[in-house]
Structure 1
Amino acid sequence: MQASDFTKVQPLSSREDPGGDCFVRVHKRDLERLCTEVMQLREFVPKVINGDFLDALHKARSLDTLREQSQQQQQQLKQECLHLCSRLDAAQSECQREREEKLVLRERLWESREQLQQQAEFCTGLGAATCTVLWSASRKEEAVRDVLADGKLEPFLSVAGQTLESFVKSLDEEEKPQQQNYNSHEHQFVLALAGVIANLAAVTCGRDFISSSAHVLLDTLMQLLGLMKSGVFPKLKVLMLMALYNVSLSVNGLTYISESPALLSLICTLLEDRDSEVCLQALRLLQSLLVEGDVLAQISPDLQHSLPVEKIRQLASSRHSALRQTAQEMLEDINCLTKPRHTTIEKEQ
């Protein structure tokens, strides 16, 4: 064998020569064959490994990437969850604090309502007592003159009208009359107000003032009488009717009251009331309209044809003596009013 046929190569493992480099002699042809085989492997290995394997490899790498991303997202979601838990704890604490504050405010509200109710009862009682005293004092003409001299009567009548309106509209229409507590401070208050108005109208100077400067009050009284049902608070109805009757004693007052288009229907309704005193005062008001024949003819010439004559005849047989007497007088007044008309018709014929 020739020396040129051998080549020195490095050993495959350094364990063969622990002390230094070592060379192995191989045939040159074997080395060339080895190199050729290596090159062939490099050329054919990609062909041996198919595309599915490569796809699987890429997918595996992608899955590794997704796994890492999922872990990162999971970690991020965990942090967000912890943050939300912290916010939830804070919100629950805030809710509990607000709930406690709400309970405190509710207790204060209840206390305020009780205090307001007590103040309202006190003011109502004070108003009832004051107006009762004023009601008693207004029976004297000197007291009415003093009130007019002070110039405070107009605002008083305005407040009185508003108070009566508020009270009447707040009445429970479904409540039975026998169940109403007419002795309460509120009832006594409005009753005293109506009594003061009636007493003011009973005096000439007070009647003239109401007839000229308290038209809103007169409209309110007539409106409220129409709102109140039969049998409901008859004492208040009586006092309001007395006030209207006293005002009707003045020509100016009678003229203004008679101009109300709903006056006659109101009186007819009140004549059907179950309370005899209400019927009596309504009849007196109607009688006051008929007494002034000139005013009646000027204001409403057809009013005579609409008079509730049949109802008045029924009242003329009432057991209530004053009501029976007034109804009989009313029938006589109606006859006196109708006789001149019949005479005129006969002359024309």
Structure 2
Amino acid sequence: MDELNLENEHELLNSLETILTSECNLHEYIDDIPQIFATDNLKTMSHKEETNGENIETLFDKFPMSSNVSKDNTNEIVTLKSKCEELHTQIERLTKEKEEAFEEIERLKDQILSQSTYCTSLGAVLGNLTWRASRFPQIVDTWLSNFQSKIGEFLSIVNGTFGAFVDTYRSAFPPTSNVEYQFVMGLLGIVTNISASPEGREFLITNSSGMEFVQKLIKLMPELPLAPGTVSLKRLMLMILYNVSMNKTGLQYLLESRVEDTLSHCLDDEASSEEMQLLCLRVLQSVTYDLDKPKYIHNLIATIPIEKIEIITSAKRSDISNAAKQVIKYLQHSQKITK
């Protein structure tokens, strides 16, 4: 190695210190590469890498590659520079791939939304057509005679769809023109017509999905928000409960599920229309008729006191007043039996 004067020695030491510091930064940067790809800050870190790259290039340009520098350090610097360039190329490629992946995700989201809207619209149309067809008893009889397995599958769909619908719109109900609302209305209308026949309600209350659906009707009705769309939905729900109560097994299931809690909420709801109040009293009439189990009688009277029903007997509409009087008569008769 050539002889160096004092000034050149200081210059060499300073240069080597700069190189070693840069080398540490390079190693730290290389170690951080996997973490960069695991975060959403790829573009920010890519920009940082470009800045670091410029600084490294500047360092290499300023550093004199003379024979005074050891060949080992020179080779290591060249190797690190090559690795940095390779990593920079990889970052650019991965950044592009990530951007393309995000674009593909957005495209697929739009496609799924479009398909979901189409399927819901189709379901709403077919559901309402089937609802109207099921008004004819002979249609329902044919379904129950020849397609019981399909009716079971249908009840499973109704059970899942209704629960998801209420969970989604629990706080803000959609307008009645909403296709999802129309779809759910069609499904509940079909179940109402199926349960209108003795065979239909027997199938409904003995099918596992049907029983779960009835349980959801009892549980979710008080949770429905006040909105114009809930009136029609509650009407169908109460009609299904009334039909189920006309079946011995169904009545037992309603009483075990404390249907009186739901009926009490319906009678106490000041927003309930007279029609809703009448439907609620009809269900209560059916539930209290010939009721002779002390447990159920006690639960009913404790939840819906006779005094509350007596207030309804003074209603202006005669059908509401008469229904309330009938409920009181049944409850008083049941009380005498249990004494």
Q: 1:304 to 1:110 in 2, by over 3 A?
A: closer
The offset of 1:126, in angstroms, is 0.8
Match of 2:115 in 1: 119
User: Could you tell me which residue of structure 2 aligns to residue 220 of structure 1?
Assistant: 216
Q: Is the 8 A contact 1:257 1:263 kept in 2?
A: yes
Q: 1:239 aligns with which of 236, 239, 245?
A: 236
Q: Which residue of 2 aligns with 1:59?
A: none
Give 2:92's match in structure 1, choosing from 91, 96, 106: 96
Q: For residues 249-264 of structure 1, what are the structure 2 equivalents within 5 Å? A: 249-260=246-257, 262-264=258-260
Aligned match of 2:183 = 189
- Structure 1 counterpart of 2:280, from 263, 279, 282: 282
Task: State the distance in 1 between where 2:218 and 2:69 align.
Answer: 81
Distance in 2 between residues matched to 1:75 and 1:264, nearest whole Å: 92
Please report the TM-score for the alignment, with normalisation by the length of structure 1: 0.69
**In the alignment, structure 1 residue 167 sits paired with structure 2 residue 156:** no
1:199 to 2:193 alignment:
yes
Q: Give the RMSD, CA atoms, in angstroms.
A: 2.9
- Greater relative contact order (Cα < 8 A, sep 6+): 2
Instruction: Note if contact 1:218-1:244 (Cα within 8 Å) is conserved in structure 2.
Output: yes
Matches within 5 A, 1:1-349: 75-149=71-145, 150-151=147-148, 152-173=150-171, 175=172, 180-213=174-207, 214-231=210-227, 233-260=230-257, 262-273=258-269, 274-276=271-273, 277-290=275-288, 292-293=289-290, 295-297=291-293, 300-306=296-302, 307-318=304-315, 321=317, 325-335=319-329, 337-338=331-332, 341=335
Maintained 8 Å contact 1:160/1:193? yes
Q: Which runs of 5+ in 1 are unaligned?
A: 1-62
Structure 1 letter corresponding to 2:297 = P
Tell me by how many angstroms 1:342 deviates: 6.0
Give deviations 1:54-98, integer Å, cap 9, x for gaps.
Answer: xxxxxxxxx9xx99xx88875433332222222222212211111
Q: Deviations over 1:94-134 (max 9, x none)?
A: 11111111222211111111110010001001111111111
Task: Report the CA distance between 1:328 and its aligned residue.
Answer: 3.8
Name the CA distance, whole Å, in 2 between partners of 1:203 and 1:342. 33
Shift in Å, 1:318: 5.0
Cα 1:279/1:340, change in 2 over 3 Å: closer
Contact 1:259 1:299 in 2 (8 A): no
Is residue 207–residue 247 contact of structure 1 (8 Å, CA) maintained in 2?
yes
Offset, 1:310: 4.3
The DSSP-based 3-state class of the residue aligned with 2:293 is helix
Change beyond 3 A, Cα 1:105–1:284: same
Counterpart for residue 25 of structure 1: none
For this pair of structures, how many residues does the alignment match? 270
Superposed displacement of residue 282, structure 1:
2.2
Deviation at 1:269, TM superposition (A): 1.3
2:21 — aligned with what?
Answer: none
Structure 1 Cα separation of the partners of residues 223 and 191 of structure 2: 19
* Deviation, structure 1 residue 244: 1.0
**Closer, same or farther: CA 342–253 of 1 in aligned 2, 3 Å:** closer
Contact persistence 2:166–2:224 (CA under 8 A)? yes
8 Å CA contact retained: 1:271, 1:311: no
Deviation at 1:153, TM superposition (A): 1.1
- Structure 2 counterpart SS, 1:302: helix
1:254-290 residue CA offsets vs partner (Å, 9 max, x unmatched): 1221121x32122111223313143332222112111
Cα 1:265–1:343 shift into 2, 3 Å: closer
Higher Rg of the two aligned structures: 1
Which residue number corresponds to residue 17 of structure 1?
A: none
- Indicate how the Cα distance of structure 1 residues 317 and 117 shifts in structure 2: closer, same or farther if over 3 A, else same: farther
Change (3 A) 1:217 1:74: same
**Partners of 2:264 and 2:187 in 1: how far apart?**
25
Relative to structure 1, is the Cα distance of residues 115 and 343 closer, same or farther in structure 2, using a 3 angstrom cutoff?
closer
CA offset digits 1:237-258 (Å, max 9, x no partner): 2211111111111222112211
Equivalent residues of 2:284, 2:327 under 8 A apart: no
Measure, in 1, the Cα distance between the counterparts of 2:334 and 2:109: 66
Aligned residue for 2:268, secondary structure, equals coil
